[in-house]
Amino acid sequence: MRKRYEIVRTTLERPLERPLERPLVSNGYTLETTPERLGWLEPTDPNLPMKQLRERYRADGYLWLKGFFDREVVLDFRRFFFATITAGGVQAFFEVVKSPEYERFCAMPRLWDFYRAFMPGRPYLHKRKLIRFNYPGEHNCTGGHYDLIYLRAGTDRLYTSWIPFGDIPVEMGGLIYLEHSDAVGRQMEEEFRMKNADLPPEERINAYNRNMRENGWVSANLVDMANRFDSRWLIADYQAGDMMIHSPFMIHAATVNNVSSGEIRLSTDIRFQRADDPTDPRWASDWTPGDNL
């Protein structure tokens, strides 16, 4: 029998904010567009008092901070990325990941001052930072997962910043979130913790151990997930300058880039925690291909 997960609804049901230009497809599954299965993320003003931002984050499992960064700074990084890739080919991708320009972007006082106040405490940024780019029509995209699956060897007081490098309208395949799934992720993780208890320590924290699913994902079938948890996928038209923050238990995924303009979807995801909480040592080095995380 299927497990029932309690999902508390705290936001009003709203119709879609605009008609979709294309169906949303993720790993071969086309998302349902009924109001019970698809909705829009709620934007938040980053200038609200910290107390309100924290309450919202706790209630929703995410914050969509509109216009958090200076748009031009973000677009500058996008230009740097494509100039580097154009000059050096795809091998240059990991040069960008290790570049001073990317370090500088991630070291921006705007970001660190925010986390210092939001946590509150001295922030620590995991060195393993990811940049993702997706060509239109590329079939594979991020399956449904929550981040702690890959980060089990430290604290669970983690904050992921997902930052679009450019405008990412829904049809370009930005991040989507399963509404109120922070509670689902917590319950699943508790179940994995119990199942993993008998495994050797390095296996216990592994996203690919015998108790986990392919790629560490909860599922690649987002349609089934929304039905199973009786929830909605929340979508958004992201703009350069926005920043998402999500909890390590919040389930999210992506859809295929399906824009006709040929534009590439470019984003980064980086993770903060308090400097005095335990860190996962596997995330203390630059992201490299095949680092098995």
Ligand X SMILES: O=C(O)CCC(=O)C(=O)O
- Report the residue number, 219 or 267, with the smaller CB distance to ligand X: 267
Instruction: Scan for tokens 């509109």, then name that residue.
Output: 66
Closest contact distance (angstroms) between CB of 160 and ligand X is 5
Six token digits for residue 55? 């309450």
Nearer to ligand X, 126 or 252 (CB): 252
Residue closest to ligand X when measured from CB atoms: 269
Minimum CB separation of residue 83 from ligand X in Å reads 22
Q: Which is nearer to ligand X, 231 or 255 (CB)?
A: 255
Pairing of strands 38-40, 233-235: parallel
In the stretch 146-185, what mask flags binding to ligand X with x, by CB under 6 A? -x------------x-x------------x----------
Interface residues for ligand X in 86-105 (CB under 6 A)? none
Residue 161 CB, shortest distance to ligand X, in Å, is 8
Question: Is residue 120 reached through a cis peptide bond, with omega within 30 degrees of 0 on the bond before it?
Answer: yes
Nearer to ligand X, 77 or 162 (CB): 162
Of 40 and 62, the one with the shorter C-beta distance to ligand X is: 62
Using alpha carbons, select from 143, 141, 147 the residue that is nearest to residue 61.
147
Say how far apart CA 251 and CA 228 lie, in whole Å: 13
Quote the CA–CA distance of 233 and 220 in Å, as a whole number: 13
Minimum CB separation of residue 246 from ligand X in Å reads: 7
| Residues in contact with ligand X, shown as a per-residue x/- string from 241 to 280 under the rule CB under 6 A | -----------x-x------------x-x-----------
Smallest distance, ligand X to C-beta of residue 197, A: 26
Phi, psi of 189, deg, nearest 5: -65, -35
Footprint on residues 105-144 left by ligand X (CB under 6 A): 132, 142
Number of residues that this document lists for the chain: 293
Do the beta carbons of residue 246 and residue 135 sit within 8 Å?
Answer: no
In this structure, are residues 275 and 122 in contact, taking their beta carbons and an 8 Å threshold? yes
- Rounded to a whole number of angstroms, the minimum distance from the CB of residue 34 to ligand X is 24
Residue with tokens 């303009």: 261
Phi, psi of 170 (to 5 degrees): -45, -45
Tell the smallest beta-carbon distance from residue 247 to ligand X (Å). Answer: 11
| Six token digits for residue 192 | 């994995």
C-alpha 129/C-alpha 60 separation (Å) is 24
Chain contacts with ligand X (rule: CB under 6 A): 132, 142, 147, 160, 162, 175, 252, 254, 267, 269
